[in-house]
Structure 1
Amino acid sequence: MSDLSPQWLPMGYRTRSATIADAREIHRLVTACEHELHARATTGVDGIAADLRPSGLELQVDTVLISDSSGELAGWGWVRGRRSTVDVHPDHRGRGLGRSLLAWAEARARHVGSDRLAQTVSDSDEATIALLRSSGYSPLVTEWLLEIEMPIEPVVPAPPEGVTVRPFRSGDGPAAHQLTEDAFDEWQQRRKSYEEWARHTVERATFEPAASPLAFAGDQLVGAVLSLDVPGNDEGYVERVAVRSDHRNRGIARMLLQEAFRAFYLQGKRTCTLWTHSATGALSLYERIGMTVQRSSTVYSKTLTTT
C-alpha cells in the first residue's frame, strides 16, 4: 500500500492506493483543477485510466489518494521512475496536502533508486510553482497548448510526389507505434512498449480514426497524425504528430495536420488543439500553419539526495 506517513497529513485526511476503478473519481478531481486554472477541462477519463495502467507502475505502492472525512477525494499522486503527477482539489488547497504529496513522491522516487524527480505544472498555477521552487525544483522544459480556429473548411495541400494518404485503419497500430517512438527517441526518456503506447493512443475510447491520417511512401509508413475526440469538448485534439526522419522537410506534417483539421471541421468542430514540447523544436511548424499558443506548462525537475 502507498506509504504516505500520517505525520505528513493534516488532521481529518486519510490515504489509500488508487485502483483502476478510481479513474472517474480522479477525473473529477483533475477537471476541477483544470476549471479552476483555465475555466475549461481538457482531460478525458480514458486518459486518466491510461495513466493508471502504464508499464512500470505498481498501483499499490506508486499511487496515493487522499480523502477527507466525508470520503471526498481531495488529492492524488503517482510516481514512476523520474516522473510524477500531484493534484489537489481546489476546495482543499492551502491545507498542506500539496506539500504532503510532494514529500511522498520524493520518498517513493528515492526508494526505487531515482536520482531525479520531475512533474509538469501549468504556468498559471502560481501556488504550485512557488511550492516546487521552494522545495528545490527548477524549470527544465516548456510545453505549449496550441489552437487553430477553423471558420472555413481547411485546405489540404497535395501530398509530395510518391506519397499517398489515408485514414488510420485497424491493424495500423504497430507501424504507427514504431514511427512515433522512433521520432520521439530524440527527446523522450524511454521508449514505450506497444501495449503502453496503445493505451494512450489508438486503444483509447476517444481515439478518432477518421481524423488520424497516415502518409505512406510505397508500403512504408512515413508520417502520422493521431487524434482524439474527447466527449463534452467541442474541439478536436491531435495527440501525436510524427514524420520519419528521412522524409522530413517535405511538407508531410503540414499536410497531415491540415487533413486532420479538415476531418474535425466536417464533424462540426471549429477549433483544434495540440500540445508540443520545447525539446521537439516543432513550435514554429505549428505557428506557420496558423496555430497560436493558448497556454503553457513547465516541467520542473529536482535532483534527489539520499536522506
Structure 2
Amino acid sequence: MSSPASLRPVEPEPAPAPIAERAAAPATPRLPTAGDLTWRAWAREDVPALATLLRTVQEADGRDWFTSADEIAESFDAPVFDASADTLVGTDADGMLRAYAQVERFPTDGATRLRVSVSGGVHPTHRGRGIGTELLDWATGRARHALAALGGDPRLDVLPARISAHIEDSAPAERRELLRAGGFEPVRYYANLLRDLSVPVSAVGLEPPLRLLPWSEALDDATRLARNDAFRDHWGSQPRTPESWRAYRSSFAPEWSFVVVDESVRYQGSEQEQPGDATVAPGTPYVVGLHLAARYEHDWESQGYTAGYTDLLGVRRDYRGRRIAVALLTHAMRVFADAGMQQAELDVDTDNPTGATGLYARLGFTKSDGSTLFTIEL
C-alpha cells in the first residue's frame, strides 16, 4: 500500500533565475594593473606578434603544438566576435606584447546551454607579477557580461550557462591553481591519441545502401546536420549553425575528409531536423556519418612527427552499430599513410558515450597526452 508521502503531488522545479541575475556581471570588467603593462584590444595587424607571443607562452607551458597566425586571424571573422570587447593584449614600454586574453562567445541558435570560453597567457619574462590573476579576472568578468547581455530573450533567459577554460596536462600546476582560485572547477577530461601508421591498417567495408564518399562542398550542409544529430548526446555539445560550421577552417584538410551516405534516402529539405534551417536542398544524398580532418603542418617539426588529424568523427544515432565509424576512420588512416603521414592523431572525451575510446584502442591508438576542461556553471 502506498504511503501518504508517495501520494503527495510533486512540486515543480522552480524556474531558474534570469541569466542576467545568474551571470552576476561586474559593472565593468576590471583591466589589469599589475606588471606595468598598457592594455588594449587586439587588432588585425597584431596577428604576427600575437602568434609569436602565444607560441612563447605555450612553449613555456610545456606544449609542443601551437596556435598559428592563420588560426588567430580567422578569429576576427568568427560569427560571434567583437575584438574591442572580447580581447585584450598588454604591451610593455617598448610596445612588445607580453600578455593576452580572449573571450570566445558561441552562437545561441538552437542552443540548450549558453556558453562562453576564456583563454589567455603571460610571457615567461613577466610571470610572477600577478598579471595572470588579474587577466583571468578581466576575462571572467567579460564572459559574465556577455552572458548577461543575452537576458530578455524568453528562451535564452532560462537556459543553463557555462564559462569554460581548457588546460593541457603539460601546463604548470599554478595554471590549475589560478583557475580554481578564479572559481573554476575541473569537469571533463580529454585524451590525445596517436596511432603509428607504419603498422598496416585493414580496410573495413560497408553494406549497401551505405556508401563512403569524399567530402565535398555540395555535401557540406548535409554533413553539418549529420554532425548535429551525431553529437546530440555528447556532453557539452551544441548544434552548429551554417555560420559557425564554416568558421575556423584554416587547417581543414578536404582531401582527408569523407562522409557515408545512405543511398536509399534523399533529403526532402532539412526543416525536419532543425526548424527554420532549410540549407540542404531537396534531393541531396542523406549523410549518416562523417570524418573531417585537419592538417597542422606548422606543428610537425616541434612534435617530431607528421600526422593526419581527425577533427570530427560522428555517426547519426539511428545508424550506430553498422561499422560506419570504423569504416570512415580506417579509410582515413590509409589515406593519411598514402600521403606519407607517420601518425594518425585525434582527441577524445574520456567519457565519450558512444564507446569511441574502445574503438580507438582496438585500432591501435594510444594516449600521448591529455587536457582538462574547467568550468563555472551558472
TM-score of the aligned structures, taking structure 2 as reference length? 0.72
Deviation at 1:254, TM superposition (A): 1.2
Matched AA of 2:258:
P
Matched AA of 2:163:
L
Deviation at 1:50, TM superposition (A): 3.5
Residue of 191, 212, 217 corresponding to 2:239:
191
* Cα distance between partner residues in 1 of 2:223 and 2:48: 29
Quick check: 1:138 aligned with 2:185? yes
- Deviation by residue 1:71-113 (Cα, 9 ceiling, x = unmatched): 2222222222432112223333222221111110121122234
RMSD: 2.3
* Cα distance between partner residues in 2 of 1:295 and 1:198: 28
The equivalent of 2:221 in structure 1 is: 174
Residue of 64, 75, 89 corresponding to 1:65:
89
Rate the CA distance shift 1:24–1:283 in 2: closer, same or farther, 3 A: farther
Q: Is the CA contact 1:160–1:252 (under 8 Å) kept in the aligned structure 2?
A: no
Quick check: 1:85 aligned with 2:119? yes
Deviation at 1:290, TM superposition (A): 1.2
Matched AA of 1:211:
W
* Cα distance between partner residues in 2 of 1:154 and 1:45: 34
Matched AA of 2:259:
L
- Deviation by residue 1:152-180 (Cα, 9 ceiling, x = unmatched): 44222112342211221232221111111
Quick check: 1:96 aligned with 2:134? no
- Deviation by residue 1:170-204 (Cα, 9 ceiling, x = unmatched): 3222111111122223233532321221122xxx2
* Cα distance between partner residues in 2 of 1:223 and 1:212: 11
* Cα distance between partner residues in 2 of 1:133 and 1:257: 37
* Cα distance between partner residues in 2 of 1:155 and 1:34: 37
Q: Higher mean Cα deviation, 155-164 or 172-181?
A: 155-164
Q: Is the CA contact 1:33–1:90 (under 8 Å) kept in the aligned structure 2?
A: yes
* Cα distance between partner residues in 2 of 1:257 and 1:45: 29
Q: Is the CA contact 1:44–1:231 (under 8 Å) kept in the aligned structure 2?
A: no
Matched pairs, number: 298
1:177 aligned counterpart, secondary structure: helix
Quick check: 1:211 aligned with 2:256? yes
The equivalent of 1:10 in structure 2 is: 34
* Cα distance between partner residues in 1 of 2:56 and 2:307: 19
Deviation at 1:262, TM superposition (A): 1.3
Quick check: 1:226 aligned with 2:292? yes
1:171 aligned counterpart, secondary structure: helix
Rate the CA distance shift 1:258–1:277 in 2: closer, same or farther, 3 A: same
* Cα distance between partner residues in 1 of 2:63 and 2:117: 26
Structure whose alpha-carbon radius of gyration is higher: 2
TM-score of the aligned structures, taking structure 1 as reference length? 0.88
